[in-house]
């Protein structure tokens, strides 16, 4: 009998155990065999023989049940291990999308000015001559129109060359004071390393009562904004010209690549030109029937910012839709 206890203990699988069950407890198993032998046992020994046999039967049964649980647990654990799914494995088929670097940069710019309580305004991309030029102090045949190579349609319609017409539209339907930005696509006939026929600008305009808006206000917010975008940079303002502002200036930041030492990106000047700005020309206010107001305005190219922030050499690569480039901005 002893060897059967051993056999049960050493069973390794459910299958093993099932064979052992049949050979012990089955119809032709050893227990049946032993009970069969009882017939030949003398009457006076029958009781003790049967008692011993029943004890064995009881012990074998409980040992068998214990072993069954041990094996089942072990097999279940092995199966779970074998069938486990590694949820941390990378899939080879799906690619993660990301915001286009131009849109991401635009979002950051909008975020800054929204936090300064500027409202976000929009306008049409197909504009008329009045909003894009005339009202912005750019009369017909004015040489300054050449600054912006324009795509024309019939009937004095055109693709807007800047976001400044949104200033005009906003002033025409809102009373001062105004504090707005206008992000959006603009169009010019231009195509090289740093120019594409479509690009994005963010326009800014602030208008309040005469005497309430100064160049110092403009300098302050633009300096703060440029530091928000580019980190710890120096900002300088250079006199410039725009027909719709007087005085006008261009803002430069100290080169973020060479820290002002002079390098290829800043053409060895130590400075990077980043935006245009100025005090709104009185002729612009005249065109929208605003009286007794003063204001400042600024405009910047979003692609230029994105190129500087991400160190992109060729502007055109931003619009070729090559996923190998775009994937780098995740
Ligand atoms: N509209 C100008 C441009 O496209 C930028 C600008 C806007 C300059 C507002 C001054 C004030 O170049």
pLDDT computed for residue 184 by the predictor: 97
pLDDT computed for residue 124 by the predictor: 98
The residue whose two tokens read 């400044």 is 164
Phi and psi, residue 299, nearest 5°: -150, 140
pLDDT computed for residue 187 by the predictor: 96
Closest residue (by CA) to atom 2 of ligand 1? Answer: 299
C-alpha 276 – ligand 1 centre gap (Å) = 5
pLDDT computed for residue 322 by the predictor: 85
C-alpha 225 – ligand 1 centre gap (Å) = 17
C-alpha 172 – ligand 1 centre gap (Å) = 19
Eight-state DSSP code of residue 197: S
Closest residue (by CA) to atom 6 of ligand 1? Answer: 299
pLDDT computed for residue 43 by the predictor: 87
Helices assigned H by DSSP within the chain: 2-10, 14-25, 30-37, 43-83, 101-115, 129-132, 164-173, 215-230, 282-287, 302-310, 323-326
Closest residue (by CA) to atom 9 of ligand 1? Answer: 298
Closest residue (by CA) to atom 7 of ligand 1? Answer: 299
C-alpha 110 – ligand 1 centre gap (Å) = 17
C-alpha 298 – ligand 1 centre gap (Å) = 6
Name residue 23's beta-bridge partners: none
pLDDT computed for residue 311 by the predictor: 86
C-alpha 115 – ligand 1 centre gap (Å) = 22
Q: What DSSP letter does each residue of 141-159 carry, written as one string?
A: T-GGGGGS---B-STTEEE
Which of 118, 123, 164, 238, when mutated, tests ligand 1's pocket best, judged by the most ligand atoms within 8 Å of its CB?
164
Ligand 1 near 245 CB (within 6 A): yes
Domain architecture of the chain: domains with CATH: 2-83 (no CATH), 101-329 (3.30.930.10)
pLDDT computed for residue 216 by the predictor: 97
Atom of ligand 1 at shortest range from CA of 204: 9
Distance, CA of 42 to CA of 156 (rounded, Å): 127
Element (H, E) at 236: strand 235-242
C-alpha 249 – ligand 1 centre gap (Å) = 10
Ligand 1 near 67 CB (within 6 A): no
* Local confidence pLDDT in tens for the 330 residues of the chain: 788 899 899 888 888 889 999 999 999 989 888 888 888 888 888 889 889 889 999 999 999 999 999 999 999 999 999 998 888 877 777 777 788 999 999 999 999 999 999 999 999 999 999 999 999 999 988 887 777 789 999 888 999 999 999 999 999 999 999 999 999 999 999 888 888 999 999 999 999 999 999 999 999 999 999 999 999 999 999 999 999 999 999 999 999 999 989 998 899 999 999 999 999 999 999 999 999 999 999 999 999 999 999 988 888 888 888 888 888 887
Closest residue (by CA) to atom 10 of ligand 1? Answer: 277
C-alpha 111 – ligand 1 centre gap (Å) = 20
Closest residue (by CA) to atom 4 of ligand 1? Answer: 162
- Which tokens go with 245? 């502002």
Ligand 1 near 276 CB (within 6 A): yes
């Amino acid at each position: 009998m002893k060897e059967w206890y051993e056999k049960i203990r050493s069973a390794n699988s459910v299958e093993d155990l099932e064979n052992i069950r049949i050979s012990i407890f089955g119809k032709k198993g050893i227990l049946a065999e032993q009970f069969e032998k009882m017939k030949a046992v003398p009457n006076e020994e029958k009781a003790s023989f049967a008692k011993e046999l029943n004890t064995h039967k009881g012990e074998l049964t409980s040992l068998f049940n214990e072993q069954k649980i041990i094996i089942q647990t072990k097999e279940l654990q092995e199966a779970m291990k074998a069938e486990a799914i590694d949820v941390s494995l990378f899939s080879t088929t799906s690619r993660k999308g990301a915001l286009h670097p131009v849109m991401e940069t635009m979002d950051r710019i909008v975020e800054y000015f929204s936090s300064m309580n500027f409202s976000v305004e929009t306008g049409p991309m197909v504009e008329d001559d009045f909003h894009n030029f005339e009202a912005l102090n750019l009369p017909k045949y004015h040489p300054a129109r050449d600054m912006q190579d324009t795509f024309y349609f019939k009937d004095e319609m055109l693709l807007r060359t800047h976001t400044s017409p949104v200033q005009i539209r906003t002033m025409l339907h809102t009373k001062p004071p105004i504090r707005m930005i206008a992000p959006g696509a603009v169009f010019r006939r231009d195509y090289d390393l740093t120019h594409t026929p479509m690009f994005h600008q963010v326009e800014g305009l602030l208008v309040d009562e005469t005497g309430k808006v100064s160049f110092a206000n403009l300098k302050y917010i633009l300096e703060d904004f440029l530091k928000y975008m580019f980190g710890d940079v120096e900002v300088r303002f250079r006199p410039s010209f725009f027909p719709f502002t007087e005085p006008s200036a261009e803002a430069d930041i100290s080169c973020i690549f060479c820290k002002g030492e002079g390098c290829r990106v800043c053409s060895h000047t130590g400075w990077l030109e980043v935006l245009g700005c100025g005090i709104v020309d009185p002729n612009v206010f005249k065109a929208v029937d605003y009286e007794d107001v003063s204001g400042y305005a600024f405009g910047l190219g979003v692609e230029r910012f994105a190129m500087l922030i991400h160190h992109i050499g060729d502007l055109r690569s931003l619009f070729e839709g090559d996923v190998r480039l775009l994937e780098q901005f995740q």
